Structure 1
């Protein structure tokens, strides 16, 4: 597998530099090598000092690395670019020579940078830096510092535009150049890399505050994974649904790790119902819509954040007895103990019941059941870390 080697400075605030670079690269699915080129003293607001590592030390660390497709360099002594060209003759070198920090701290001398530009395949700089070092044929010039409605990126006479997201963000140069490098590893052309890197950066900036929060990008694959995990139990429900689906229907909800609203909890659309004795789904799992199991999951996560999945199955005394017999942690929700204002408010009854039960527990419950109330069907709710764990608990009590 082709690798991306990242050589950049260590920023303890993680607003830019190596940590930011590795974060965005791994979010892009890259297999990454890395080395620290410098140590900085800085916060998200200001840079105070930089200490460059000896080039010989860095080269000694990386000389045995294989399958390096692209080398991405950030803040480093300019001479290292020539050494990298000799060491990785068949690799593409992308250099983002940060001349100074966003707070005005000077990292590199413009004249020294110019001497080593010819050894890189691509130089990624902002428009201010380009004016200082001059325009070179291998430059990708970003226009975030210009006072234009759209941000322009220039490369070999071509101009690429993307939406400007207003805000004072740190780390945009690091992130863009690393996205650009990652896409080169994937075989994108420079032009297509610029376009796609811009699209991804805009997407992340729309969700970010103060700095480029690359961790938000990694949340996207988790959203897909949660849906996949939920859809993976459809066949299980098809097999056992005739034993579990209540009259009001069943659902299974699976929350994202950071979920705070129902829109961040995956669930099946509508409810799973028996049609001619067989489970019927309205569609694949989705984040759209509402579900009582989603609300219960959110309530459970307030105390036990790792319990992210909930389903409801029809009440059967034998199921409860079996659950107790095999050692599951079983609790009863007494409907007649609910305050009047809770009973009268749609969607609050079960959340109140769960909160009331778990408030003094040290370990999360496996099952919470109730025997029904006027207009409310008796029900068993099963909780777990993920859909597979929940469905296995269900099977353990019905067979």
Structure 2
């Protein structure tokens, strides 16, 4: 467990908010106590107010003793107080002498009095020049020029390719990552290496500020594909009733999807072989799909409707859907405007727009009876594959 004692940055780019985001990304249990209140945005610091130790102590002493303590923007004496409270905890102190905009937080001479109470002091190369050399310093070179970033600890020099750009909050993110890896029993050298790799991945997804939350989107990608693969056997089980001649797809979009390559699907589709449904491939974000484009389209109007499945047209399926309370829209392809017919992919967009306009709410089912060169089709919409599967079962089962 890591105890974070750090300042509050209302913009969330640095400070205790950033600390908790990074530790959460590592899956590390975290307790947190605010040590300073700032008035700032992503570009400038206007003021800082350090909290009284006695107030902080009352909050800290009721918490579980931590394995690692990450100290951010705090009155320097705080580090000594924490060492007295927790002699067996590792203390990582991210010294912040001034903001990137030039606001002075702490006096270097005052900081020097307390560096020995921390196991590791993380600071940038400019701050290190003001404080001198100490055996427990981990010095980051993000402010220096070059194609790589170097981090120095004792006789070790770690190097990693630089991510282009200027980012607010790198010190907080890096020191929190080091603290998290130490809490997982990494040797300090390995904690530094791993924290550098993690920060690089975060910065590659960030713009202007450290956006750790974007790294967590990778979990959504895994979960989307995993959800599809787990439910595939259930779709195959009823596939003899549902798979159309052109094949079937279960398309499940990421919450932020803007195109079909941000939609999970089964490349090659689900098809019938000797009357039995088979999948050509496991779930992937690759390949193109009509249902994927439909998912992206309906999300423009109803972002929670992330899943679309096409089902072969049977009149009784439509009738059961209506009788069992599903919202059904009949799409008449003969009424498509010429400009819609002539533009690739526009039919699906126009179809969904018409359904939403008529139903005044998200459709459960949109069907058409076919047209020249177009197979009759039913499309079923829902929040996720499980919900769509249940709707399909309502349609196909007597």
Q: TM-score scaled to structure 2, two decimals? A: 0.97
Select which of 125, 128, 144 maps to 2:126: 128
Moved more, 265-274 or 343-352: 343-352
In 2, the alpha carbon distance for the partners of 1:191 and 1:339 equals: 66
Alignment of 1:1-399 (within 5 A): 3-66=1-64, 68-359=66-357, 361-399=359-397
What's the offset of the Cα at 1:44? 0.9
Runs of 4+ off more than 4 Å: none
| Aligned positions, number | 397
- CA distance in 2 between counterparts of 1:361 and 1:36 reads 50
| Distance in 1 of aligned mates of 2:48 and 2:359 | 50
Check whether the contact 2:271–2:280 (CA below 8 A) recurs between aligned residues: no
Post-superposition offset of 1:88: 2.1
CA distance in 2, matches of 1:157, 1:358: 65
Stretches of structure 1 that go unaligned for 5 or more consecutive residues are: none
For the residues of structure 2 that align with 1:183 and 1:194, how far apart are their CA atoms? 8
C-alpha root-mean-square deviation of aligned residues, in Å?
A: 1.3
Structure 1 position 192, deviation (Å): 1.7
* SS in structure 2 of the partner of residue 302 of structure 1: helix
SS of the residue corresponding to residue 142 of structure 2 reads coil
Question: Could you give the per-residue CA deviations for residues 112-164 of structure 1, whole angstroms, max 9, x where no partner exists?
Answer: 21111111111111111111111211121110111222110111211111111
1:93 and 1:367, CA in 2 relative to 1: closer, same or farther beyond 3 A?
Answer: same
Partners of 2:36 and 2:50 within 8 A in 1 = yes
Cα distance in 1 for partners of 2:195, 2:332 equals 55
Distance 1:133 1:291 in 2: 59
Larger displacement relative to structure 2 (323-332 or 26-35): 26-35
Shift of 1:36: 0.7
TM-score, structure 1 normalization = 0.97
User: Matched residues in 2 for 1:225 and 1:153: separation?
Assistant: 34
Worse-matched range after superposition: 149-158 or 243-252 = 149-158
When residues 277 and 67 of structure 1 are mapped into structure 2, their CA distance, relative to the original with a 3 A threshold, is: farther
Once residues 242 and 32 of structure 1 are traced to their aligned partners in structure 2, the CA distance between those partners, rounded to angstroms, is 50
Q: Which runs of 5+ in 2 are unaligned?
A: none
Change (3 A) 1:186 1:283: farther
Cα distance, 1:361 vs. partner?
Answer: 4.3
